[in-house]
Amino acid sequence: MKRSMISMLLSALMFFISCGETAIGIATDNDSSDPEIINESEWSALTAGGGHNCGIKNGELFCWGRNYWGQLGDNTDINKAIPIKISTESDWSNVSAGFYNTCGIRNSELYCWGSTSFFELAPYDTTPEKVGTENGWTDISCGTKHICGIRNGELYCWGNNFCGELGIGSDEKSNTPLKVGTESDWSQVSAGYLETCAVRSGELYCWGGGYPCETDERDSGNKNIPVKISNEKNWTQVVSAEWSSCGLRNGKIYCWNGEDYGSGKTVVEQIGRYSDWGKIGKGSAHICGLRKGELYCWGWNVMGQLGDGTKTDRDEPVKIGNSSKWTNVAGGTLHSCGVDGEQLFCWGSNNDGQLGTGEISYREFPEQIGDSDSWTKISSGDRHSCGINKGKTYCWGENQYGQLGTGNESLKQTPTLVNENPGWTQLATGSSHTCGIKNGDLYCWGDNYAGQLGDGTKSDKNIPGLIGNESDWEIISAGHYQTCGIKDGELFCWGDRILVPTRIGTENHWEAVSVGSDYICGIESGKLFCWGWNMNGELIPEEDDFIEEPTQIGEKKDWTHIDSEQYHRCAIRSGELYCWGDNWCGQVGPNYNKTTPERIDEKNDWTYISAGEYHTCGIRSGELYCWGANEFGWLGNVVSYESEPVRIGEYADWTTVSAGHSFTCGIKSGKLYCWGSNSSGQLGNGKAWELTPVEVILP
């Protein structure tokens, strides 16, 4: 499988998918619409986690952003788009935001909240809970799934221990602090993704390591105990990021790869030429640093988390803005925050409100995109969308492989014109590729790893490319690594190592086709057929694990519509709606997994259906209904989870809907609406990220 470093990072950063057991709301209330101007000395600490931030001002603790597991500590699990004061105490001295949780120190006592069990994401604490009865805590660091802290000079770690990141000499997991070694002169610690680094008497130690980490390598290389990685002393700070770590020594920044601890050959290299750095802040895959009050950032920049006004990755430190009054900086997964003189700023991804601007980019309710009322088609992929407006194609969202067709690989967070010429009638977005029909001609673009573009190559394309010479294409469907189309009633498929459109069977009355993740379903002469991978009989019971040819499901001949996703599929016949497949989140209706089509309800006026990864949406009598998972508001309402169709709004003029990976788009009276996750700008509302620092709105 093709895996670039960026795609590896995206996979590593995708967090646990749940069905939305708790209602996630949007809070944008603000006592004052004017940003509060504060004195720089008031902010004594700042930390950025996976999708949330916390800071200490005059001893008071504030947090904002993602709150799915209660990691903000405000006694709710509702995201906050502005800083919210946590507790009434004013003696907080340190705070660290992780991916699922947060820990802080006040009066030398340690408190943690959010997901407190690292082996499963529930239960969780929504308010700060004291850890143990001891005091003397001076430093704390929350990693992705483990925590480390220093108490009276002794080092303690707890949580997951997949790669030996706890440093206790074994792979034992623990939900309570375990002492690391016997030393009592530790001064600073940083917990990362699968590794930990710390400073003891000016010496630098690290343990754990990058993924994958085999048990025999870990044991033989002593990666599960602190390993001294440099003979030099005078280390004053260390930060562990997603794929590398960096440290500060004698005013110089050094970085290294965390996969070599067991070999004893860790390569420590200086970053840049400066020797007057004063502080460094970690992100998951980016680093920021301060020197003489100036801010510099480098590393991964897919969501503008470097703050340099671009999304270009940087191998060397790049100066951010012209200010020389920066006093603090912290990096999260895809965003960063810093204190500049009298103001607090954040930049990068804003999917969960982590920028503190009063806006949350994801939407729980349908939000109109633009003001046009001429949209006729919409198709939602994994993290990108495309639509047709007045015969022209527009795309937006993720663009790693050129799936937007804009001539480059830059993400777009608003609809962007793909081609000046009108005449487009059909669109299909796959995981990372797109196909469309214009004046009967077939065009495809984007990821071509498995030949899913159908142009006879396996080369990606960032602009629409004509497929073949035929001009009678009528229907197109794109999946993960396959594409199918219908022309003159004949069905053609390609991808999965087939590089050009290849006819399926000899029938010439195909009416619909839908490509899932590793299977295909279609309707021919009103009969429903499926083929492809059939593990556990989830596609067709009592058939082989792989069905090579189209196989009819049942004996009915009145099927009219079919849509398939990775784990489930839904179809309509005589206005009745049927679904089957995996049912982890209720996406195929009540009860358990279904191996044969089962009717969803007693209605017989369903006209359109769309299957997302863990949710489903459909239209009947112009009314929009959704059900299944609702982690990011995918369903378009505030209900957390539904296994039966729930009506969205009161309108009865919906004409089409498209459920993507973690978001949904639909057309109502020619107007385009989108809702759900906006991690890559796939909603098209222009609010997914900020490329330069923007001021945080303070309460």
pLDDT in tens, 275-316: 999 999 999 899 999 999 999 999 999 899 999 999 899 999
| DSSP SS3 for 6 | helix
pLDDT in tens, 171-186: 889 989 999 999 999 9
d(CA 389, CA 566): 28
Q: What's the pLDDT score for residue 215?
A: 44
End-to-end C-alpha distance for the chain, whole angstroms = 48
Q: Look-up: residue for tokens 């500590």?
A: 73
Q: Which string of DSSP letters, residue by residue, matches 362-389?
A: SEEEEEE-SS---EEEEEE-SSEEEEEE
The answer to whether residues 134 and 240 belong to one domain is: yes
Q: Last residue of a domain, which of 245, 280, 315?
A: 280
Task: Classify residue 329: in a domain, yes or no.
Answer: no
The answer to whether residues 250 and 376 belong to one domain is: no
DSSP 698: P
> What single letter denotes the amino acid at residue 655?
T
If one compares 332 and 212, the residue with the highest pLDDT of the two is 332
Region of residue 130 (left: phi > 0; alpha: psi -120 to 50; beta: else): beta
pLDDT in tens, 620-667: 999 999 999 987 788 888 667 789 999 999 999 999 999 999 999 999
Q: Last residue of a domain, which of 241, 262, 280?
A: 280
Task: Classify residue 352: in a domain, yes or no.
Answer: no
Nearest to 448 by CA among 495, 400, 409, 404: 495
The answer to whether residues 222 and 84 belong to one domain is: yes
Q: What is the CATH number of the domain that holds 656?
A: 2.130.10.30
The answer to whether residues 377 and 495 belong to one domain is: yes
pLDDT in tens, 499-509: 999 999 999 99
- 470 burial (CB, 10 Å; 0-12 / 13-18 / 19+) is middle
With a cut of 50, say whether residue 212 has pLDDT above it. yes
The answer to whether residues 384 and 273 belong to one domain is: no
The answer to whether residues 370 and 240 belong to one domain is: no
With a cut of 50, say whether residue 216 has pLDDT above it. no
Q: What's the pLDDT score for residue 261?
A: 62
Tell me the percentage of the chain whose pLDDT exceeds 70: 89
- CA-CA distances (angstroms) from residue 218 to 161, 214, 257, 263, 500? 11, 6, 16, 10, 46
| DSSP SS3 for 7 | helix
pLDDT in tens, 88-108: 999 999 999 999 999 999 999
d(CA 177, CA 118): 13
| DSSP SS3 for 535 | helix
> What single letter denotes the amino acid at residue 650?
E
The answer to whether residues 408 and 276 belong to one domain is: no
CA angle 456, 459, 462 (to 5 degrees): 115
Task: Classify residue 19: in a domain, yes or no.
Answer: no
Task: Classify residue 39: in a domain, yes or no.
Answer: yes
H helix runs in 145-232, sequence order: 215-220
Total tally of structural domains belonging to the chain: 2
The answer to whether residues 400 and 271 belong to one domain is: no
Task: Classify residue 386: in a domain, yes or no.
Answer: yes
Q: Look-up: residue for tokens 């008497």?
A: 201
Residue 576 near residue 599, CB atoms below 8 Å: yes
- CA-CA distances (angstroms) from residue 294 to 272, 275, 438? 14, 14, 51
Task: For residue 559, give its domain range.
Answer: 364-688
d(CA 323, CA 90): 30
Task: Classify residue 602: in a domain, yes or no.
Answer: yes
Task: Classify residue 177: in a domain, yes or no.
Answer: yes
- φ, ψ for residue 343 (rounded to 5)? -135, 150
Strand partners, 158: 147
Q: What's the pLDDT score for residue 592?
A: 80
pLDDT in tens, 382-404: 999 999 999 999 999 999 999 99
The answer to whether residues 373 and 276 belong to one domain is: no
Q: Last residue of a domain, which of 280, 312, 332?
A: 280
- Helix (H) or strand (E) segment spanning residue 319: strand 314-319
The answer to whether residues 527 and 668 belong to one domain is: yes
d(CA 612, CA 563): 9
With a cut of 50, say whether residue 549 has pLDDT above it. yes
Q: Which string of DSSP letters, residue by residue, matches 29-92?
A: --S-SSPPP--GGGEEEEEE-SSEEEEEETTEEEEEE--TTSTT-SSS--EEEEEEEESS---E
Q: What's the pLDDT score for residue 19?
A: 62
Residue 637 near residue 340, CB atoms below 8 Å: no
H helix runs in 559-641, sequence order: none
> E strands, 124-165, where?
124-135, 137-142, 146-151, 154-159
Three-state SS letters, 540-582: CCCCCCEEEEEEECCCCCCEEEEEECCCEEEEEECCEEEEEEC
Task: Classify residue 216: in a domain, yes or no.
Answer: yes
With a cut of 50, say whether residue 545 has pLDDT above it. yes
The answer to whether residues 406 and 500 belong to one domain is: yes
Strand partners, 92: 106
Nearest to 280 by CA among 316, 252, 322: 252
Rounded to an integer, the average pLDDT of 577-586 is 92
- CA-CA distances (angstroms) from residue 119 to 161, 388, 694? 10, 45, 36
The answer to whether residues 266 and 372 belong to one domain is: no
